[in-house]
């Protein structure tokens, strides 16, 4: 079950368009991951039981895919139920630590670009459509801000605790 405070993620981008939020994060994330590579911190944990940088990045990739699907689901007015997911269980089964850093960087970068183009294609009517995820109501636009804010949240954690 998700314990995410979505409002914290959304507030990161107060006052800008969702497409801009999704695009501007990409270069900042790439810069930080370059520093992670230069310092060889991919397998580093800042405390016992905390994720490695590889696991954090894989978590961001997993979430980006899920958030993107949720936005598409609501945009297309799919009536099937959507639920939250357990990010810790996903992380346990991700096999992130066996992955090559350059593959993680490429996958996340390309995924962020794809999400940006997905949202660029949504007009105002689509962005305002709403649907339920678990017991919470989300608009397509809100999901875009959650997506961008979630990645910046983890970028900040990498910068503050891992670097």
| Structural domains in the chain (count) | 1
CATH number of the domain bearing residue 101: 1.20.120.450
Beta bridge partners of 130: 139
Whole domain around residue 96: which residue ranges?
Answer: 6-162
Confidence of residue 8 (pLDDT cuts 50, 70, 90): confident
**Per-residue model confidence (pLDDT) at position 1:** 40
d(CA 104, CA 55): 10
Residue 131 sits at φ, ψ, to 5 deg, of: -160, 170
Q: Is residue 109 part of a domain?
A: yes
Residue 1 falls inside a structural domain:
no
Structural domain includes residue 146: yes
Q: pLDDT band at residue 15, thresholds of 50, 70 and 90?
A: confident
Average the pLDDT over 127-154 and give the result: 95
Q: What is the pLDDT of residues 21-40, one digit of tens each?
A: 999 999 999 999 999 999 99
């Amino acid at each position: 079950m998700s314990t995410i405070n979505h409002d914290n993620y959304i507030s990161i981008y107060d006052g800008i368009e969702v497409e801009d939020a999704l695009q501007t994060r990409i270069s900042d994330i790439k810069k930080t991951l370059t520093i992670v590579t230069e310092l060889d911190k991919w397998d580093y944990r800042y405390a016992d039981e905390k994720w490695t940088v590889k696991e954090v990045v894989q978590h961001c990739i997993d979430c980006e895919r899920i958030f993107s699907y949720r936005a598409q689901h609501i945009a297309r007015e799919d009536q099937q139920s959507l639920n939250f997911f357990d990010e810790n269980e996903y992380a346990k089964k991700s096999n992130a630590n066996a992955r090559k850093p350059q593959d993680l960087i490429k996958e996340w970068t390309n995924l962020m670009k794809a999400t940006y183009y997905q949202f660029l294609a949504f007009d105002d009517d689509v962005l305002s459509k709403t649907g339920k995820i678990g017991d919470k109501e989300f608009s397509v636009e809100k999901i875009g801000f959650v997506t961008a804010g979630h990645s910046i949240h983890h970028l900040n954690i990498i910068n503050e605790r891992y670097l």
